[in-house]
Structure 1
Amino acid sequence: MKRFAPASALVMAAVLMAAPLQADPVEIATARGPVTLAAPPAKVAVFDIAAADTLEALGVAPVGLPTQLYVDYLDRGAAAPIGTLFEPDLEALSTLEPDLIVIGSRSAAQFEAVAQVAPTIDMTISPDVLGDARARLETYGTLFHREAKAAALEATLDARLAEVQGAAKGRGDALIVLTNGPKISAYGRGSRFGWLHDAVGLPEAWPALKPEVHGDAISFEFIAEVDPDWLIVVDRGAATGAAGVSARETLDNPLVAGTKAAKAGQVVYLNAANLYIAGGGYQALMANLAELLAALKG
């Protein structure tokens, strides 16, 4: 350490103020294990929609975002387009000279490519969506020195979960389905949407579903046989902007109409982009929970 000759307090203060500030290193958890970074990074480029969602909730504005965000609530601000979730524009990314690049889920396969430009972290959300959402919120809060904001957001999430679970108590079981045009898949605990059972408190109408990434392929006859009290629906086409048959059209048939869920008006069409694309992002999570709460109270 440099030793200073005796000086007045004013001189010492001037010297300290003139010295460059160094970012303190911090170890954070990622999908690929712990990583040590200088915090806070001044410029961050983001290729994961859930990460962009939570960072926005914390007040962190990325310098670069994908050309298509899929969800309608994210504000691009001054963020430059840096390619798609599947194909990064390395030239545009390099021009930004980011201190950190965040990838995850659909962009995770591009880790090695973008890591050539700047330090990169993989923040993929696992099927433990609630657990990972909390972990990411805390991690970003630490990394960007927004710990108090992260704690406040988590408290709001806890309150929303308690309200949803209270409204769901004693309201029967649920079957979670995803439609992809005319095709239907069901999702149980351990799957990408299975966290909804734990978050809401509605048990599985069919506990034998496999925790497959793309769900268990099912038929209308299966839905009729299971006869759930609640049918929670995710429309993949609506999430990705694909043309074709909507979930409402696919499920508009006598077999589904004969279920307890349909007869009671308890078929819930969640905002699919929030759940399918931005799943695990704080704002998407809160919005989906608000939809479920409204349905349960309705």
Structure 2
Amino acid sequence: MRKTNLLIALLAAMVLMLAACGSNDEASTEPTKKESTETAEAEGQEEAAAAGEEGPAYPMTVSPTVAVSEGRDGSSTSFEDVEFESMPEKIVVFDYGFLDTLDALGVEGIVGVAKDTSLPAHLEKYASDEYKSIGSLKEPLLEDIAEMAPDVIFISGRQSAFYEELKEIAPVVFVGTSQDDYWNTFLSSVDLAAKMFGKEAEAEEYTAKFDSALEEVKALAGTYETSLVTMYNEGKLSGFASNSNFGYIYNIYGFKPVTEDIESSSHGSNFGFEAILEFNPQVLFVIDRTAAIGGESNIDADMENDIIKKTDAYKNGKIVYLDGPLWYLSGGGLQSELAKIEEVLAELK
């Protein structure tokens, strides 16, 4: 009897032990809340990566496209790297070229633009009340910008004088182009936008359009022996060399400059009509700055005078009037740079 009772007790103890082990096994395989969250995040990242939607990696250090900007008055401004803990959600943009790029890439979160300067035609949607005004390209509305509480402010050369004041409001990133290396600094600004906002795939797709366009314009440029880039401003002309703001017409598009004896300047050097006749380029490019800044332009009457009519460019119908707002105000953007090439092709083909 005692043996039977002992056997029953032992069997009961074994049953309890097996039940406890089973319970422990189940508990060890049940994920904790933290583990579930981490697993879901990992799976989400894998799915996003597979769909080409992987977001940018933050924290991120962003460098300016140009380290130092030289003012026309001899002053200079040095721009700093900026550390971002997360992707900016409220964006203020002064530079029209960078606004153009953000627009082309489909970046959301733009809250303020420089609406007090004439917006380029392809950026007219930013004139709506959906976007607040941050002033003009040369006169920021500092208090208004502060009220917007932006996460980032993108500037270029025209706002350099306000760099320190803008930094007190929000992180400031310089995204302008360099006169000495325009094309590469433009591409740097595109790369910057793509990395900051997770738009690398979109940027690659868009920049691929430049390959065929540049190949075509280079082939066209090779059919002319000489060219000259000028800018019209209220009846006066400025000339540009290959190391100037518009030097990419020579360096990237492939047009041969009629002369390199032109002073390097952001607005070009004074260039009279007589000088144009003396150099006598086969192609004469004219950028209408007067129209770009909203003035009344008499470019046709002023340019087609008795002196210019003696040039080969005039005789052969190769005076190319380039769109002022596009070339003077909104360059340095994905859409505008492609539009420039297309304009040259359309005018000379």
The two structures have a TM-score, normalised by structure 1, of 0.90
Deviation at 1:144, TM superposition (A): 0.6
Structure 1 232/6 Cα, relative in aligned 2: closer, same or farther at 3 Å? farther
Matches within 5 A, 1:1-298: 8-9=30-31, 11-12=33-34, 15-16=37-38, 24-30=58-64, 31=66, 32-61=79-108, 62-67=110-115, 68-74=117-123, 75-76=125-126, 78-127=130-179, 128-243=181-296, 245-297=297-349
Assess if the C-alpha contact under 8 Å between 1:70 and 1:240 holds in 2: no
* C-alpha separation in 1, matches of 2:147 and 2:30: 45
Structure 1 6/164 Cα, relative in aligned 2: closer, same or farther at 3 Å? farther
Assess if the C-alpha contact under 8 Å between 1:108 and 1:124 holds in 2: no
Does the residue aligned with 2:122 lie in a helix, a strand or coil? coil
Does the residue aligned with 1:212 lie in a helix, a strand or coil? coil
Deviations 1:56-113 (A, max 9, x none): 1111241111123431111216221122222222222122211111111212221111
Does the residue aligned with 2:61 lie in a helix, a strand or coil? strand
Does the residue aligned with 1:63 lie in a helix, a strand or coil? strand
Structure 1 58/69 Cα, relative in aligned 2: closer, same or farther at 3 Å? farther
Deviation at 1:11, TM superposition (A): 3.5
Structure 1 259/22 Cα, relative in aligned 2: closer, same or farther at 3 Å? closer
Does the residue aligned with 1:24 lie in a helix, a strand or coil? coil
* C-alpha separation in 2, matches of 1:197 and 1:146: 30
Assess if the C-alpha contact under 8 Å between 1:129 and 1:195 holds in 2: yes
Equivalences, count: 290
Structure 1: which 5+ runs fail to align? none
Does the residue aligned with 2:102 lie in a helix, a strand or coil? helix
Assess if the C-alpha contact under 8 Å between 1:173 and 1:229 holds in 2: yes
Higher share of residues assigned helix: 2
Q: What amino acid is aligned across from residue 89 of structure 1 in structure 2?
A: L
Deviation at 1:280, TM superposition (A): 1.3
* C-alpha separation in 2, matches of 1:268 and 1:6: 77
Deviation at 1:8, TM superposition (A): 3.1
* C-alpha separation in 2, matches of 1:141 and 1:172: 38
* C-alpha separation in 2, matches of 1:86 and 1:210: 25
Bigger-Rg structure (1/2): 2
Instruction: Report the more deviating stretch, 71-80 or 261-270.
Output: 71-80
Deviation at 1:10, TM superposition (A): 7.7
Deviation at 1:55, TM superposition (A): 1.1
Structure 1 60/296 Cα, relative in aligned 2: closer, same or farther at 3 Å? same
* C-alpha separation in 1, matches of 2:279 and 2:221: 19
Structure 2: which 5+ runs fail to align? 1-26, 42-54, 67-78
Compute the RMSD of aligned alpha carbons.
2.2
Structure 1 259/82 Cα, relative in aligned 2: closer, same or farther at 3 Å? same
Assess if the C-alpha contact under 8 Å between 1:189 and 1:195 holds in 2: yes
Percent identity at matched positions?
30
* C-alpha separation in 2, matches of 1:54 and 1:81: 19
